[in-house]
Amino acid sequence: MNYDEALNYIHGTLKFGIKLGLESIETLLSLMGNPQDKLKYVHVAGTNGKGSTVTFISSILIEAGYKVGIYTSPSIERFSERIKVNSTEIDGDDLGRITGFVKENVDIMVSKYGIYPTEFEIVMAIAFQYFYEMECDIVVLEVGLGGRFDATNIIKDPLVSVITTISYDHMDRLGDTLEKIAFEKGGIIKNGSDVVVFPQPEGVMNVISGICEDRKASLHIVDFKTIKIKSCSIDGQEFAYKVWNSLKISLLGEYQVKNAAVALNTIELLREKGYKISDNSIEKGLFNAKWPGRLEVLSKQPVFLIDGAHNGEGAAALAMVLKAYFPGKKILFIVGALKDKEISSIIEPTLPLAKGYITVTPDSGRALPSKDLADFVLQYCKNVLVSDTIVEAVKTSLSLVSEDDIICAYGSLYYIGKVRSFFKP
């Protein structure tokens, strides 16, 4: 296959939907020779902060000289962003060739067992095969959905399992309480493993600590009390943590400092396991970590930010950062969302900061039409415009503000990439 044929095949399997469980991926990978069993992993689950934490950990490991496989999802602008080695995306030739190999085994699987893998399972099979062929020293692997029955959980013995913040999302599949969701996320915890956890509400921590106890896993709860933020601006942040007096990150928001602390605790455990990672690699890795689409500044006159906040916790964190960075300022928001999200929790945190809203329809079959989203927002804010396209929304927003104003596009990663492409073609 070539690149386009590979993408057509991968996306063509979307018709099989989302199917939680490990039987399909286990069967497919077994036919492929189980490439996933020949790699070492840091496995990262959570509702928010997974991608940023993956980025911090992998950036530090790259600086330390390791060949690092990186899997994240969804992509922002290109499918190949999901699968990287040392921050270089899988190229078209490799994607086409490996997809062809995976398809051969899918065909055997379907004819022999009558099992159809989902799109995500096929993508994971491609990623595992690529990381194996590239002889990665370590793979930093982001969970797709949940944890217990996610296709990434086919791995057997991670070096470290990491759980970032847990909040309400995908409740139709993961459960309607934080404790139920925590049980699913905690499914990545393996017997005798090390587990780094972002501090959670008591009920969530009870679930996670209970799983760790049952599986004789060592629980490492990150202590944020030793964090001291020294400075912050739209250009980055400087903070002290534990033995490090001056660490700098380019990512914005206090929660990113906390995500960096989670990454640092993970790196400390990898050091204990024999990985040679200097303080200099840690400092450079943190500073060089980039995570597109997460409170990313695309323009400074006017300030134009994009953020993939797509649930209540993410929107609340976004609003907190905007209030801290731009005190007293009113903001023009571009917003798009998926129809299976709790829309009120995405909109309400930003209402006190809003000059107005422009609604868009994300590029997804699950998208909430921009007109329906506008009807909802109009209950709370009278300054709402409906945009037919994402590019039109960006152009309209820029025409409505002066150089001193602020625009923020948020709500769904399924359209943020197109906004980003407008500024960075």
Pairing of the two strands 303-307 and 296-300: antiparallel
Tens digits of pLDDT across the chain (425 residues)? 899 999 999 988 766 656 667 999 999 999 999 999 999 999 999 998 999 999 999 999 999 999 999 999 988 889 999 999 998 999 999 999 999 999 999 999 999 999 899 999 999 999 999 999 999 999 999 999 888 999 999 999 999 999 999 988 776 678 889 999 999 999 999 999 999 999 999 999 999 999 999 999 999 999 999 999 999 988 899 999 999 999 999 999 899 999 999 999 999 999 999 999 999 999 999 999 998 888 999 999 999 999 988 888 889 999 999 999 999 999 999 999 988 788 999 999 999 999 999 999 998 888 899 999 999 999 999 999 999 899 999 999 999 999 999 999 998 888 998 999 999 76
Angle CA(200)–CA(201)–CA(204) in degrees, nearest 5?
A: 80
Q: Where in the chain is the domain with CATH 3.90.190.20?
A: 296-423
> Under CATH, domain 3-288 is a member of which superfamily?
Mur-like, catalytic domain (3.40.1190.10)
Beta bridge partners of 45: 163
Our CA dihedral for 220, 37, 74, 342, rounded to 10 degrees, sits at -50
The CA-based dihedral angle spanning residues 126, 127, 129, 130, taken in that order and rounded to the nearest 10 degrees: 110
CA-to-CA dists, residue 141 to 90, 137, 260, 329, 399, angstroms: 15, 13, 16, 38, 41
* CB within 8 Å of 6: residues ≥ 6 apart: 92, 95, 96, 99, 100
Sheet containing strand 88-89, edge to edge, reads: 88-89, 83-85, 68-71, 138-142, 41-45, 160-163, 194-197, 218-221
d(CA 51, CA 60): 14
Q: Is domain 296-423 classified as CATH 3.90.190.20?
A: yes
Residue 425 has what pLDDT?
64
Ramachandran bin of 106, using left for φ above 0, alpha for ψ from -120 to 50, beta for the remaining angles = alpha
pLDDT of residue 113: 92
User: Where in the sequence of the chain do the CATH 3.40.1190.10 domains occur?
Assistant: 3-288
Residue pair 74/145 in contact by the 8 Å Cβ criterion: no
Q: How far apart are CA 211 and CA 97, in angstroms?
A: 40
